[in-house]
Amino acid sequence: MTYCVGIEVDEGLVFAADTRTSASFDDVRVHGKLHVFEFPGERVLVLMTAGNLATSQAVLARLRRDVDDAAPTSLRTVARLVDAAEYVGRTLVAVQTQLAAQAEQSRVNVESTLILGGQIAGDAMGLYLIYPLGNCIAASPETPYLQIGESKYGKPILDRIVRPATHLEDAARCALVSLDSTIRSNLSVGLPIDLALLRVDALRLMAQMRLDGDTPLYAEIRDSWSRKLESAVHSLPRFAWEPVPADAAPVSSAAAAPLQQATAVPAEAATALHAQAQAQQAVPPV
């Protein structure tokens, strides 16, 4: 399985992907899923892949071949980012069609899903999710991030924290926590993590790195997040019936009132039901 996330904020783009692939429980390998097409000062595009590994690698091979062969349409020649997304979508569909014919008897799923982001000189920065059908959607101010693969475990922090005004480095830290949360909850997603940052109008990557479990930066972020998350849970408001720790403020009467009322409702309801049952028993049958 896979987990990749792309984040678009006002200051730039963040790309993060795990590297684990597996053909079976005892065949676990590392393959990069974050791929860079960079022409400094002209354009920089980042492609992340999820799904069938053979399909993803065939798509990448065609994209790189078109660049190397100076094809009329390639990631080097398209004028706008949306044109790049449509071109990659067409390439994806062509590869899947070819592989599907070969895999028809084995019933192997040959589909892949991609995230493409970056900036071309003269065009706005952007981030696109490309579906197996070749169509795509763009990130928006309302949804400034896109995910592919095993997305559910890493989604909560993105929903709570990431906004267009979020600083680029804070968005990158959220991406790493999102990956770490997924790695903790799903064995099919694993280290190392590939991370890339692109600042708006820079037209070259600001940073690109691979983070493993013993990389000091990743280890510190992971451990610090765990400690502070546990501390935050302990500091949440306490229930009215809980003993108050010596270092905590007592629960106010206003805060306790709703809880007291909530516990009183079941008793009142039970009394009413009991009285109704007695009245029904008192009516003689017709």
Q: Which residues contact 16 (CB under 8 A, 6 or more apart)?
A: 4, 5, 6, 34, 172, 175, 176, 178, 179, 193, 194, 195, 196
CB contact set of 106 (below 8 Å; sequence gap of 6+): none
| Phi, psi (rounded to 5 degrees) for 146 | -130, 145
Output the pTM of the full model: 0.86
Q: Which residue has the higher pLDDT, 60 or 260?
A: 60
CA distances from 278 to 47, 66, 265 (A): 71, 84, 20
Residue 283 three-state SS: coil
Confidence of residue 278 (pLDDT cuts 50, 70, 90): low
SS3 category, 74: coil
Decide if 49 contacts 35 (C-beta within 8 A).
yes
Q: What are 38-94's pLDDT values in tens digits?
A: 999 999 999 999 999 999 999 999 999 999 999 999 999 999 999 999 999 999 999
Sign (positive/negative) of CA torsion 218, 222, 223, 227?
positive
216 preceded by cis ω (within 30°)? no
> Among candidates 56, 43, 32, 112, which has minimal Cα distance to 83?
43
Q: What is the CB neighbour count within 10 angstroms for residue 231?
A: 9
| Contact of 85 with 129, CB cutoff 8 Å | no
5 or 265: which leads in pLDDT: 5
Q: pLDDT, tens digit, for every residue of 157-175?
A: 999 999 999 999 999 999 9
Which DSSP category does 144 fall into? Answer: -
